[in-house]
Amino acid sequence: MSQDNQHGRWTISSSDDDDDIPPSNTATSHSPTLTDSNRNSHMPVPLASSKEARTATPPPPAPAYGVKTEPHPVQVNPAPSPLVTVSEARQAAHAGQLNPVKYESPPPPSGKRKREPDESGWALSDSDDDDGGDDVKVKGESSGSGQRGAPPGMRPPSPKAKKPKVEKNERPPSPHGRTYYIDEPDDFYETSIPCLNDTYRLYLNKVTGLDRKYNTGALHIRDILSPLFGTLKESVQFNYCFDISWMVQQYPPEFRDRPVLLVHGDKREAKAHLLQQAQPFPHVRFCQAKLDIAFGTHHTKMMLLWYEEGFRVVILTSNLIRADWYQKTQGLWMSPLFPRLPKGSASCDGESPTFFKRDLLEYLASYRAPEFSDWIQRIEEHDLSETRVYLIGSSPGRYLGSDMERWGHLRLRKLLYEHSHPIPDEENWPVVGQFSSIGSMGLDKSKWLAGEFQRTLTTIGKSSHRADPPIHLVYPSVEDVRNSLEGYPAGGSLPYSIQTAQKQLWLHSYFHRWKAEATGRSHAMPHIKTYMRASPDFSELAWFLITSANLSKAAWGALEKNSTQVMVRSYELGVLFIPAAFNMSSFPVQKNQFPATSSSAAFPVPFDLPPKHYSSTDQPWIWNIPYSQAPDTHGNIWVPS
């Protein structure tokens, strides 16, 4: 079908009015179209139109959802929306243009050049998708591509040499080369206990290329795993996307062979590939999370770190792939070091005022995984009483009665009902939601967003009267992505599809730009997800949540059967900050985030408030339509197949 709409003229071949396909799946659908040994970009690929583009043009960063151990990327095409059948997804992927296309001014309509299929030697396989579109995903290349100059605002690459890693039976180099990423400078990682604000224990990731000051108080995965935080004995990594050899490299050499349990949701070919990645690493074991409901995904991102000195939990938003720790805005909560309880303590000892211990154990129990039994026992043996945040998880299932409040937005609603307090002028305290993917929310706002989800977000204490405050949704526009450090390829981690977007144009009236001057991250596209309630002038917060949950019914749950049950498709995890747990009545918003101090009571909101509404010409980023009218920061355009 062909259509003229506000996204421009664009043709899609799939049926886009199939309402039977689970809606929220776009937020959780990266369709796998993978080679046997590379699972790569889940994104449309910027195309090169000229020889210079091949050789001199900086290639796009590795796609976000990558798992790959080889030094060259395979480009595959975007996961079509769930409304596109898997076979269509395959076709789309196969038809893909695999090179960056250099922007030419003015760009000729045929200015893109398709790469010959055999030019790179990449054989795209279509065999890696799940049944019937279930859990459709494309995991991105994780360790691709060619060196490029520093975009504006970036520091030059360090001269450190790349280690050559060449494997037998290697394919020819990808057009993105094997040195895409600039190296982090030598002073990028912490060598002594960093100055971290330990009031909220909420941190951003370090962004490669930012001015130093913007990375102070931020953490790279290597920092998190460093001996500065504890002498590691064993760990668990919950995540969606893994590059196992990269992950292993992030552990300090002295801990590198300590047992690691990977908790994932992959099935069939994807699972086989994941297990295969771990062949060289016998200390890596697996736990496959059950995903019995179609279109569910294992999004939860959590580390359990067991040390000589105790135990620690990290809840985060980054996949375990290099691209996710490179030039995106990500966030994490790091628990205090939990000491071991005295021998003979009861398993419920060491509880926090927020019941974090009980809730973490309940979340783990929901996997019904025998692999967790040692960990459950270890957690029981520790004192988690210093925790001030509330845990909010999603675990797939259909829940009735009081079980409805265990997960997702009804869990958030219950916590806000019980632990937040009514505020004067409540109807003027906006709700802000910020995310990196969007599911299908129905034909109008009443279907889910303004109905059940808004009711949750506007719950504050036990007051029965509920006002209808403004709702601001923060999601990058096309210009935000185009001008980002990664350029258009950043859009590979913002998988909002045209098929979903065109059915809910009503949603876009809520949209606000991604802007983060205060953190220096305006050009580092968000993969973080946050939700909060702010005062009318945005100087205070009534609560704040960081989570893996995007704006989707799959993540947050949707009521069914006349609201007598809730259905949750995916695993998600986040932490909720409520002022009362910090002996405060509201959180003051931190205005100027730098220099960071170790004990500020000002709350580090990761983007600028108030949010800035889209202008009449701004468009939300949609990942599977072309953007060829203007070049990105690397001189490329974006032409999905």
- Catalytic residue numbers read 299, 527
Q: What is the closest distance, in whole angstroms, from the C-beta atom of residue 96 to ligand K8D in the complex?
A: 18
**Does 27 contact ligand K8D by CB under 6 A?**
yes
81 touching ligand K8D, by CB under 6 A: no
Amino acid of residue 328: K
Residue 38 binding ligand K8D, by CB under 6 A: no
Measured distance CA(581)–CA(114) in Å, rounded: 57
- Residue 126 beta carbon to ligand K8D: minimum distance, rounded to whole angstroms: 18
- The single residue among 148, 299, 357, 569 that binds ligand K8D, judged by CB under 6 A, is 299
- The only residue of 288, 335, 437, 530 in contact with ligand K8D, by rule CB under 6 A: 437
Provide the minimum distance between the beta carbon of 404 and ligand K8D in the complex, in angstroms, as a whole number.
24
- Other CB atoms within 10 A of residue 340 CB: 15
Residue 319 touching ligand K8D (CB under 6 A): yes
**447 near ligand K8D (CB under 6 A):** no
Q: Pattern 391-430, binding to ligand K8D, x per CB under 6 A?
A: ----------------------------------------
Cα separation of 404 and 397, whole Å? 10
The CA distance from 381 to 590, in Å, is: 36
Q: CB of 37 within 8 A of CB of 70? A: yes
DSSP 373: H
Q: What are phi and psi of 167, to 5 degrees?
A: -105, 160
Q: Residue 502 forms beta bridges with which residues?
A: none
Establish if 611 lies at the interface with ligand K8D (CB under 6 A). Answer: no
Does 329 participate in binding ligand K8D (rule CB under 6 A)?
no
- Which residues pair with residue 471 across a beta bridge? 431
Tokens representing 364 are 């783990």
d(CA 338, CA 284) in angstroms, rounded, equals: 24
| Residue 493 beta carbon to ligand K8D: minimum distance, rounded to whole angstroms | 6
Q: 224 or 379, CB closer to ligand K8D?
A: 224
Are β-strands 431-434 and 636-638 bridged in parallel, bridged antiparallel, or unpaired?
Answer: unpaired
Residue 308 DSSP one-character state: T
Nearest in space to 177 (alpha carbons), one of 25, 333, 60:
60
28 binds ligand K8D (CB under 6 A): yes
Site map (CB under 6 A) of ligand K8D, residues 239-268, x = contact = -x----------------------------
Cis peptide before 610 (omega within 30 of 0): yes
Total residues at interface with ligand K8D (CB under 6 A):
14
Is 553 an interacting residue with respect to ligand K8D (CB under 6 A)?
Answer: no
**Site map (CB under 6 A) of ligand K8D, residues 341-360, x = contact:** --------------------
Q: How far is the CB of 123 from ligand K8D (least distance, A)?
A: 24
Query: Between residues 200 and 240, which has the closer beta carbon with respect to ligand K8D?
Result: 240
Contact between 495 and ligand K8D per CB under 6 A: yes
Q: For residue 106, say if its preceding peptide bond is cis, omega within 30 degrees of 0.
A: yes
| CB closer to ligand K8D, 120 vs 552 | 552
Q: Which is nearer to ligand K8D, 354 or 437 (CB)?
A: 437
Stretch that binds ligand K8D, among 22-30, 203-211, 361-369, 500-508 (CB under 6 A): 22-30
Between 206 and 527, name the residue whose CB sits nearer to ligand K8D. Answer: 527
Instruction: Kindly write down the DSSP assignment for every residue of 387-430, as one continuous string.
Output: --SEEEEE-SEEEEGGGGGSSHHHHHHHHHHHHS---TTGGGS-
Rounded CA separation 86/30 (Å)? 11
Residue 284 token pair = 């890596």
Of 235, 366, 436, 477, which one interacts with ligand K8D (CB under 6 A)?
Answer: 436
At 5, give phi and psi (nearest 5°): -145, -170
CA-closest candidate to residue 381, choices 410, 348, 415, 403: 348
- Decide: is 29 part of the binding site for ligand K8D (CB under 6 A): yes
Question: Contact residues for ligand K8D (CB under 6 A)?
Answer: 27-30, 137, 240, 297, 299, 319, 436-437, 495, 527, 550
